[in-house]
Amino acid sequence: MADSAGIALDNLRVLAEQVGMSLTTAELEHLKPMFDFYAEQMHALHEVDLAAEDLAVVFSPNWDPQG
């Protein structure tokens, strides 16, 4: 699979290895379209210009969505 758009398989392999994953070429080829899709979405997210009052992120690991 030689897809010139998006990340190169060798670069994707390096990224996977940096986080401790050893993926086969077939696994990388399967992951590549998903990576390319989300990488493009991340670019749009980084372009958003938020004011200081817009930056409120809360993470509660014990939150019960049913409660």
| pLDDT for residue 4 | 57
| pLDDT for residue 29 | 96
Q: Where are the alpha helices (H) located in 1-67, listed in sequence order?
A: 9-18, 25-46
Question: How is domain 1-67 classified at the CATH fold level?
Answer: Histone, subunit A (1.10.20)
Summarised one tens digit per residue, pLDDT across range 17-66 is 999 999 999 999 999 999 999 998 888 888 888 777 666 777 778 878 78
With cut-offs at 50, 70 and 90, classify the pLDDT of residue 2: very low
| pLDDT for residue 45 | 81
Which one-letter amino acid corresponds to residue 40?
A: E
Would you list the domain boundaries of the chain? 1-67
Say how many Å lie between the first and final Cα of the chain, rounded.
48
